[in-house]
Amino acid sequence: MATAWLALVFAFLGRFAAASAIPPSAAAVARAYYVATTGSDSNPGTLQRPFRTIQHALDVATKPGDVVEVRRGTYYESIAFPSDGAPGRPIVLENYPDELPVISGARGSSQKLVEIFNRSHVRFGGFAVVDLAATSPSESGAVFVEGAGDDVEIASTRIENVRPKPHVYANGRGIQVRGYDRNRALTNVAIVGNTIEHCVVQDGNVLEISGNTAGARILANHLFENTGIALNVTGGTHPPMYGRWNLQVRDVLVQGNTVESTRGSGGIGLYIQGSANVRVTGNRVTGNSWGLYVTSEYPQVHSRNVAIAGNFISDNTEAGLLVGSPFFPTTVLGATVVDNVVIHNGAFESGNGGNFGIGRARNVHVHGNRFVAADEQVLTDLGAPYESVTLDENCYDDPKHIAATAMFGYAGKTYTGFSRYRSATGQDRSSRFGQCTSSIRVGPVPVRDSASR
């Protein structure tokens, strides 16, 4: 499957490169500008006489189709996109081919190193964004895509070492996509092929999709060794004040990401909260405190129509895969859990999950998955309240590989023995026990809408 994911990344990078090209019809107005640490902002910005600062280049590259290419070196500045592109002719800020420019917050005072606010048709990619000492809970981080707008891509960028300043309550955010305008959505944002590592949030999210945001695509990113919630698609909030409102993040694809080694009090690898029409497919979620968690925290803002398919979820210490929570008052309305591998999770579980569980949820269909326990815990833990839950065609196993002693939790009761569990609950009629981990395949699979099942 590694080849498939490389093909996915290259397909999107090809799109990124194609968007950078200047169409013949735009040749008279679009230009390419260059930036180098040896340049000067009094130069014309050519390859031979480049600009010195990235921001000056962006201030000049204001026509649709304009491209800014940045040479290798470290740039101690923060930047903001001042202009929109046009459909098919975005404004592009990217690395010069085969070189890595670095945007560093080590010497600056700005708390947003890259800001795209109320912009449409822009591209940013091929950079490293590093070394920010955060001082704000909500306004500190590496890359911010905010406000309203359409068609923004953040691609092939490494984000590292964004963390709170010592002794300061703050969040070191990696990439934030937040729709501020309740009347105009932030639409069609793509976060593709980025690496985010060693970022620390105290009560926030390292990669966040929130607010009035629709049509986001989170594809083939790698998040590892972060602290807090690593990747969060979160609805029901109105940043930056976080007052509740009945508006959800919606129509989101989370595909082909690797999320691993997330720690801290939040410690969740992939969190879907209060969002609608979300597809979570082909992700690898391993070695976190919690693996993949779908819930709804805010009153009257339900997670709806969440499809979880073809994911590999393993060795998360507290819990593997959870749909719905007994702790929050709002329900997950409609979810499919199909063809996932959920193994060896919850080994150090402290009452917060286990390998697989369903909490406050309705219309949940669990089919074709492989559930393998880490120890002698229950293989499934379905705790009330929930409604209209069906399980079938799954495979279960535990370290003993003995069906008669395996434990299953259902409707607040624990059943010992696979046959006893099935006869008492009527679930998993066509499921089997044992030999679940052979021929494991991880990747995106066709998913039917939960409302159609």
Domain limits, the chain: 2-448
Return the CA Rg of the chain: 23
pLDDT digits (tens, 9 = 90+) for 34-54: 999 999 999 999 999 999 999
Extended beta strands in 318-380, E state: 319-323, 332-338, 341-343, 354-358, 361-367, 370-372
Tokens 């030999």 found at = 435
Q: Residue range 211-223: average pLDDT?
A: 96
Least confident of 26-35, 320-329, 427-436: 26-35
E strand or H helix that includes residue 101: strand 101-104
Q: What's at 15, amino acid-wise?
A: R
Among left, alpha and beta (phi > 0; psi -120 to 50; other), residue 92 is beta
SS3 call for 170: coil
Q: Is pLDDT at 149 greater than 50 in this prediction?
A: yes
The percent of residues above 70 in pLDDT, for the chain, comes to 85
226, containing H or E segment: none
Q: Could you tell me the pLDDT band of residue 243, with boundaries at 50, 70 and 90?
A: very low
Rounded CA gap, 209 and 165, in Å? 24
Average pLDDT over residues 433-437: 90
Mean pLDDT computed over 71-77? 98
Q: What was the pLDDT predicted at 381?
A: 82
User: What would the mean pLDDT of 249-274 be, rounded to a whole number?
Assistant: 94
| Mean pLDDT of all residues in 366-370 | 97
Q: How far apart are CA 79 and CA 239, in angstroms?
A: 21
Q: Which two tokens stand for residue 336?
A: 């499919």
Mean pLDDT, residues 231-235 taken together:
93
Q: Which has the higher per-residue pLDDT, 115 or 447?
A: 115
Predicted confidence at residue 386, as pLDDT, reads 73
CA–CA dist 182, 180 (Å, integer): 6
Q: How far apart are CA 223 and CA 235, in angstroms?
A: 21
The whole-number pLDDT of residue 10 equals 42
User: 352 vs 61, which has greater pLDDT?
Assistant: 61
Task: Using alpha carbons, select from 220, 215, 188 the residue that is nearest to residue 119.
Answer: 188
pLDDT of residue 287: 95
The mean of the pLDDT values for the chain is 87
Task: Answer yes or no: are the C-beta atoms of 371 and 407 closer than 8 Å.
Answer: no
Q: How far apart, in whole angstroms, are the C-alpha atoms of residue 54 and residue 126?
A: 14
* pLDDT at residue 75, rounded to an integer: 98
For 285, other C-beta atoms within 10 Å of its C-beta total 32
Q: How far is CA 348 from the centre of its chain?
A: 25
Read off the DSSP letter of residue 450. Answer: G
Residue pair 399/406 in contact by the 8 Å Cβ criterion: no
Average confidence (pLDDT) over 343-362: 79
Show the tokens assigned to 281.
Answer: 């497919």
Tokens of 424: 């008492």
Q: What is the dihedral of CA 294, 299, 304, 307, to 10 degrees?
A: 0
Q: What pLDDT sits at residue 239?
A: 45
CA dist 389 to 28, 99, 367, 410, Å?
A: 60, 52, 11, 11
Give strand pairing partners of 125.
94, 155
Q: What is the Cα–Cα distance from 179 to 118, expressed in whole angstroms?
A: 9
Residue 25: predicted pLDDT: 45
Degrees to nearest 5, angle at CA 396 with 306 and 440:
75
Q: What is the mean pLDDT of residues 214-221?
A: 98
Q: Who has greater pLDDT, 304 or 9?
A: 304
CB 177 within 8 A of CB 213: yes
CB 352 within 8 A of CB 324: no
The Cα 93–Cα 123 span in angstroms is 6
Q: Is 181 or 423 the better-scoring residue by pLDDT?
A: 423
- What's the confidence (pLDDT) of residue 22? 41
Report the pLDDT value the prediction gives residue 126, as an integer from 0 to 100.
98
Q: Can you tell me the distance from the alpha carbon of 452 to that of 250, in angstroms, rounded to the nearest whole number?
A: 19
User: In sequence order, what are the residues at sequence separation of 6 or more whose Cβ sits closer than 8 angstroms to the Cβ of residue 396?
Assistant: 371, 372, 379, 380, 406, 408, 418, 428, 431, 432, 433, 434, 436
**Predicted confidence band of residue 108 (pLDDT cuts 50, 70, 90):** confident
CATH for 2-448, among 3.40.50.720, 3.30.1330.10, 3.30.70.2860, 2.160.20.10? 2.160.20.10
Please report the pLDDT score of residue 236 as a whole number.
64
State the pairing for strand pair 407-410/413-416: antiparallel
- Bigger pLDDT: 412 or 427? 427
Closest CA to 32 of 52, 55, 16, 50: 50
Q: Residues 170-181: what's their mean pLDDT?
A: 92
**Residue 12 reports pLDDT greater than 60:** no
pLDDT digits (tens, 9 = 90+) for 270-311: 999 989 999 999 999 999 999 999 998 877 788 999 999 999
Q: Tell me the C-alpha distance between 191 and 86, whole Å.
A: 19
Q: What is the DSSP letter of 12?
A: H
Beta strands in 18-80 (DSSP E): 32-35, 67-70, 73-75, 79-80
Q: Mind listing the pLDDT tens digit for each residue in 120-137?
A: 999 999 999 999 999 998
